[in-house]
């Protein structure tokens, strides 16, 4: 299926303009929604030093998706359910840096164990498993756009509601706690929001490459500016540009979309490191 999709893309690229086709319109819409969400949520993920949490949540989501396929449910709902549960558990088990990695590692190990169990019974679903691992943005259905839009809206509204205390707790956790801010509650809420963003990202770049949209643009933005507002906008803009340029490259070549997006993310981050050092920010 993946090979036939690549062949079809090459054939269509010679027959008409890219946005003449419904599947490309859906792909641009889906990647645009997810990229903006990933850029904004990922900014706080990097700021709080919880990039490992995003990585763990993506693997937990894979377990949920494979379990949903076994039960005859849409993979996206299994992914959302498992990542939400895991995000809340991670936030509840450990907020301070000393205990956070242990908590996340414990949840990740358990999720991977279940994932292996589910894969044992999914031998006849190799195509679906591949799409979950590496993404299949070219195959996004119109109905999925509504799901992604709802996930993005819910995540951004929730993030906006906790943004001020979250920023306070991220930059000065001891002072925030002394002022009565519940670090554990904030951690649980934020990781639940991150879980929704991760579930959306996997529809575009897959479980294994969530870092591409969730961490890469955010890290690059923080290398280029120290201001919150400009950093958030730059992170979202970089994620959007990488997603859309990656789709364009994939359409006019025979390269996988996820690879194109990942390669662009690596180039942008590398460039941000060089620029940031020259300007004395890093």
Residues 6+ apart with CB under 8 A from 15: none
Nearest to 38 by CA among 160, 186, 215: 215
Residuewise pLDDT in 10s, the chain (282 residues): 444 444 454 444 445 688 888 888 999 999 999 999 999 999 999 998 888 777 788 878 888 888 887 787 877 888 888 888 888 877 776 555 445 666 667 777 777 777 777 777 766 555 666 666 667 788 788 888 898 999 899 999 999 999 999 999 888 888 888 888 888 888 889 989 998 898 888 877 777 677 788 889 999 999 999 898 999 999 999 999 999 999 999 888 888 888 888 899 999 999 998 887 777 655
Please, how many CA atoms are within 13 Å of residue 247, restricted to the half-sphere of its CB? 26
Task: Report the predicted TM-score, pTM, of the whole model to 2 decimal places.
Answer: 0.81
Nearest to 250 by CA among 238, 239, 263: 263
Question: DSSP class of residue 263?
Answer: H
pLDDT score, position 6: 47
pLDDT score, position 149: 92
pLDDT score, position 14: 46
Contact between 265 and 212 under an 8 Å Cβ cutoff? The reply is yes
33 lies in some domain: yes
40 lies in some domain: yes
58 lies in some domain: yes
For 253, the 3-state DSSP assignment is coil
Nearest to 238 by CA among 206, 267, 208: 267
List the domain range (segments joined by +) for residue 105: 2-11+22-278
17 lies in some domain: no
Rounded Cα distance, 34 and 90, in Å: 23
Contact between 12 and 254 under an 8 Å Cβ cutoff? The reply is no
Strands (E), the chain: none
Rounded Cα distance, 215 and 105, in Å: 18
Domain of 163, CATH number, reads 1.10.3470.10
Q: How many domains does the chain have?
A: 1
pLDDT score, position 98: 44
183-205 vs 257-278: helix crossing angle, rounded to 10:
130
Nearest to 30 by CA among 135, 130, 129: 135
At residue 231's C-alpha, the angle toward residues 45 and 225, to 5°, is 115
16 lies in some domain: no
For residue 217, report the phi and psi dihedrals to the nearest 5 degrees. Answer: -60, -40
77 lies in some domain: yes
Residues 6+ apart with CB under 8 A from 167: 44, 47, 228
């Amino acid at each position: 299926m993946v090979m036939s999709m690549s062949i079809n893309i090459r054939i269509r690229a010679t027959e008409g303009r890219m946005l003449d086709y419904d599947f490309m319109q859906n792909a641009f819409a889906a990647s645009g929604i997810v990229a903006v969400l990933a850029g904004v949520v990922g900014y706080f993920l990097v700021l709080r030093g919880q990039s490992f949490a995003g990585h763990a949540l993506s693997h937990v989501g894979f377990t949920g998706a494979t379990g949903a396929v076994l039960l005859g449910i849409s993979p996206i709902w299994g992914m959302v359910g498992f990542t939400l549960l895991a995000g809340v558990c991670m936030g509840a088990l450990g907020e301070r840096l000393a205990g956070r990695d242990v908590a996340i590692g414990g949840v990740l190990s358990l999720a991977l164990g279940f994932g292996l169990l589910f894969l044992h019974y999914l031998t006849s679903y190799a195509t679906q498993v591949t799409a979950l691992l590496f993404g299949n943005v070219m195959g996004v259905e119109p109905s999925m756009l509504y799901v992604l839009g709802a996930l993005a809206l819910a995540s951004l509204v929730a993030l906006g509601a906790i943004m001020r205390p979250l920023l306070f707790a991220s930059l000065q956790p001891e002072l925030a706690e002394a002022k009565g801010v519940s670090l554990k509650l904030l951690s649980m809420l934020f990781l639940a929001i991150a879980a929704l963003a991760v579930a959306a990202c996997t529809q575009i770049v897959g479980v294994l490459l969530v870092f591409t949209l969730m961490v890469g643009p955010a890290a690059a933005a923080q290398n280029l500016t120290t201001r919150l507002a400009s950093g958030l906008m730059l992170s979202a803009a970089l994620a959007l540009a990488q997603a859309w340029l990656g789709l364009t490259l994939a359409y006019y070549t025979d390269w996988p979309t996820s690879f194109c997006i990942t390669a662009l993310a690596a180039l942008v981050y590398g460039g941000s490191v060089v620029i940031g050092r020259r300007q004395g920010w890093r």
